[in-house]
Amino acid sequence: MTLSELPAAQLAAFLQDQRTAYDELVAQGLKLDLTRGKPSAAQLDLSEELLQLPNGHTAADGTDARNYGGLAGLLDLRAIFAELLGMETGQLVAGGNSSLTMMQQVLVHCLLHGAVDSERPWSADGPVKFICPVPGYDRHFTLLESYGIEMLTVPMNSDGPDASAIKALVADDPRIKGMWIVPTYANPSGAVCSQEVAAELTSMPTAAADFKIFWDNAYAFHHLTADETKSADVLSLASASGHPHRPILFASTSKITFAGAGVGFVGGSVENIAWYLKHLGNESIGPDKVNHLRHAQFFGDGDGVLAHMAKHREIIAPKFAQVQRVLTERLAGHGVASWNDPAGGYFVNLDVVDGTASRVVELAKGAGIALTPAGSSFPYHDDPNDRNIRLAPTMPPVADVTTAMQGVATCVLLAAAEKLSAAR
Ligand SMILES: Cc1ncc(COP(=O)(O)O)c(C=O)c1O
């Protein structure tokens, strides 16, 4: 019987049991954190050798990595990641330590200068709007918010964003200039955008001729199973449908090597890359090529990256397995929650009884378990159903993940019982 089907007396008893369980949880005095998608120390240790690299300072093409220049990044490293991301080396720029910064650069250049195929700066014609699949990555939304860009939400399905909803929006409104998508193992839903959905997004008619897909492939190689999903080939699809400049790709090694000292990438059509470099040239004389060289030597080639990712998987897959085990054991059958079992990425998406996500996070905090604030995966931090909670299990040791999830399950059950009791 689900919680909502329980007769009043049984629901009251259930609520009392959960209150007792919660009091016991608080008494444990936990101090656990499932908030941010950070690699654990054990994952960072996998790349410790980087601290001894590079050997020498000369790249394969003779470039002295120590000096200014080479705005597009070191060829050695671009070649490795271009192959992995399915493009020519000339279509990929290796930059600084953050792809999010590169997203901000591209956005601001579009706003102030216009994209490669714009007649005017995006900002010249009044307020700009963006499509935001939800739930999504909080920093994508706060970035748009900081520039006053209006966010239009569409559902994120298990095969990618709802293409029909997007098509209906972009067909008639020239102020809708772009959209976000995390195509592979999306943050936080774990969804993987299918080739079919990608084809719809690249081919759809848009009122804005310079519409852009910000294709943030932050988790392209971050598999949690042996089934190593390949990302949709958005660049080929876009070229084939006559919109070669529509997608701009982003990726980074933040969750491959060091989250604070990795390498970010921007990819796209040759024209998009020339446009990006033209603007980049005004703000930089060249990136940290020493870091590029150290990464190129560390990986050797694309297979080196994939072998390295398999080591990450060994460390974090057991944590994700604990999340599934505890959620299933504690919550399945009660009708109070649903969650995904991602095949990759950094998050588990937990949907609780409508109107209780904030309460669950509050209860968890009271028990010393830090969860990402409810609503974080929505623009303006506003989850209209107050239902969504993002769980990030990579950082704590596996035993702590298990303990934290037991606590979260108690909070989910208590919040659901409170809500249902109050509604009776
Ligand atoms: C979807 C997504 N994009 C980008 C980033 C940040 O990337 P970077 O470290 O390269 O700035 C994150 C980090 O959590 C992410 O989840």
* Short-list 210, 219, 218, 206, CA closest to 163: 206
Calculate how far, in angstroms, residue 218's C-alpha sits from the geometric centre of ligand 1: 6
Quick check: CB of 185 below 6 Å from ligand 1? no
- Residue 220: the pLDDT is 97
Quote the strand ranges of 188-316, DSSP E.
Answer: 212-216, 247-252, 264-267
**CA–CA separation, 152 vs 156, rounded Å?**
13
- The residues of the chain that CATH labels 3.90.1150.10 are 3-43+307-423
- Residue 36: the pLDDT is 82
Quick check: CB of 252 below 6 Å from ligand 1? yes
- The residues of the chain that CATH labels 3.40.640.10 are 60-301
- Residue 127: the pLDDT is 95
Report helix, strand or coil for 157: strand
Asked if 190 contacts 345 with a C-beta cutoff of 8 angstroms, the reply is yes
Question: Is the model's pLDDT at 122 over the cut of 90?
Answer: yes
Model pLDDT for residues 223-278, shown as the tens digit of each residue:
999 999 999 999 999 999 999 999 999 999 999 999 999 999 999 999 999 999 99
- Residue 173: the pLDDT is 98
- Residue 93: the pLDDT is 98
pLDDT band for 424, please (50, 70, 90 cuts): confident
Query: What residues contact residue 75 under an 8 Å CB cut-off, 6+ apart?
Result: 59, 60, 61, 63, 89
Model pLDDT for residues 48-72, shown as the tens digit of each residue:
999 999 999 999 999 999 999 999 9
- Residue 110: the pLDDT is 98
Average pLDDT over residues 355-374: 98
Q: Which amino acid is at 112?
A: L
Q: Token digits for 139?
A: 């920093």
Asked if 299 contacts 308 with a C-beta cutoff of 8 angstroms, the reply is yes
Asked if 252 contacts 263 with a C-beta cutoff of 8 angstroms, the reply is yes
Question: Is the model's pLDDT at 150 over the cut of 90?
Answer: yes
Question: Is the model's pLDDT at 381 over the cut of 90?
Answer: yes
**CA–CA separation, 138 vs 380, rounded Å?**
9
Write the CA distances from 93 to 88, 189, 230, 248, 309, integer angstroms. Answer: 11, 28, 21, 11, 22
- Specify the CATH number of the domain 3-43+307-423: 3.90.1150.10
Question: Is the model's pLDDT at 389 over the cut of 90?
Answer: yes
- Residue 125: the pLDDT is 86
- Residue 302: the pLDDT is 98
Model pLDDT for residues 175-195, shown as the tens digit of each residue:
999 999 999 999 999 999 999
Q: Which fold has domain 60-301?
A: Aspartate Aminotransferase; domain 2 (3.40.640)
Average pLDDT over residues 346-363: 98
Give the nearest ligand 1 atom to 100 CA.
11
Question: Is the model's pLDDT at 391 over the cut of 90?
Answer: yes
Calculate how far, in angstroms, residue 263's C-alpha sits from the geometric centre of ligand 1: 11
Residue of 107, 132, 139, 192 best suited for mutating to test ligand 1, as the one with most atoms within 8 Å of CB: 139
Quick check: CB of 410 below 6 Å from ligand 1? no
Question: Is the model's pLDDT at 89 over the cut of 90?
Answer: yes
**∠ CA 320-322-328, rounded to 5°:** 105
Query: What average pLDDT is seen over the chain?
Result: 97
- Report the percent of the chain where pLDDT is more than 90: 99
The residue with greater pLDDT, 26 or 424, is 26
Alpha carbon of residue 75 to chain centroid = 27
- Report the percent of the chain where pLDDT is more than 70: 100
Quick check: CB of 377 below 6 Å from ligand 1? no
Query: What residues contact residue 266 under an 8 Å CB cut-off, 6+ apart?
Result: 92, 93, 95, 99, 102, 106, 248, 249, 250, 273, 276
Average pLDDT over residues 369-374: 96
pLDDT band for 20, please (50, 70, 90 cuts): very high
